[in-house]
Chain A
Amino acid sequence: GAGVSQSPSNKVTEKGKDVELRCDPISGHTALYWYRQSLGQGLEFLIYFQGNSAPDKSGLPSDRFSAERTGGSVSTLTIQRTQQEDSAVYLCASSVGSRDWGSNQPQHFGDGTRLSIL
């Protein structure tokens, strides 16, 4: 498909377990973003990858969260020792250019992973 693909679409896990969420961006998009949306909240920025540059991790809420992007394409968001407050929809987005390019590069979002921590 031509869009951003995220997997799994739903994940239910027990508190304390680790989870991995995957994002396949649109081919050729150099920028990749992770956001999360908790119930009743807006989209909360987590991390931003641009090409081979060091990622902007300023939005990660704790050291239990990490992300990597292999080969400038697929990205994995990992949450270790999950807590109930981690329950949210995790959204990935990609765009053609850097967010610094006048910001006129709209982001294309995947459908998200709904994470539920029991």
Chain B
Amino acid sequence: DQQVKQNSPSLSVQEGRISILNCDYTNSMFDYFLWYKKYPAEGPTFLISISSIKDKNEDGRFTVFLNKSAKHLSLHIVPSQPGDSAVYFCAAAGNQFYFGTGTSLTVIP
């Protein structure tokens, strides 16, 4: 029972363009959503989060959008840089944390 889904396993974007990573969830009771970034052979690192009472949170080049009615969140990275190439996991927090399967982003120089 996958409560958090990332349906795109991979994404390629040209440097300077916008990267949009998507995430869907099933439980309307989740109260916080987070994005983590993971490089090979390293643990995930926290990137940005959003409370369920908000619909947008911005931090530099990273913006997370939350659409509660659609149970959908997205991470926008603009402009994308080659160093952003990594696997991005979304996570939802309720009585425990649920992670998606990740989207591998490749930013092409």
Contact = CB atoms under 8 A, between A and B. Distances in A.
A109 B44 contact: yes
Interface string A12-31: 00000000000000000000
A109 B93 contact: no
Interface size class of B (residues with CB under 8 A): 20 to 34
Contacts of A45: 96-99
A43 interface: yes
Interface residues of A, number: 28
Interface stretch (B12-20, B45-53, B58-66, B76-84): B45-53
Contacts of B36: 109
A41 B102 CA distance: 8
B44 A43 contact: yes
Contacts of B34: 106
A30 to B, nearest CB: 16
B43 A42 contact: no
Interface of A: 4, 6, 33, 35, 40-45, 48, 56, 58-59, 91, 93, 99-100, 102-104, 106-112
27 contacts: A33-B97, A41-B101, A42-B6, A42-B99, A42-B100, A42-B101, A43-B91, A45-B97, A58-B96, A59-B96, A91-B43, A91-B44, A93-B43, A99-B93, A99-B95, A99-B96, A102-B31, A102-B51, A103-B94, A103-B97, A104-B49, A104-B51, A106-B34, A106-B46, A108-B46, A109-B43, A109-B44
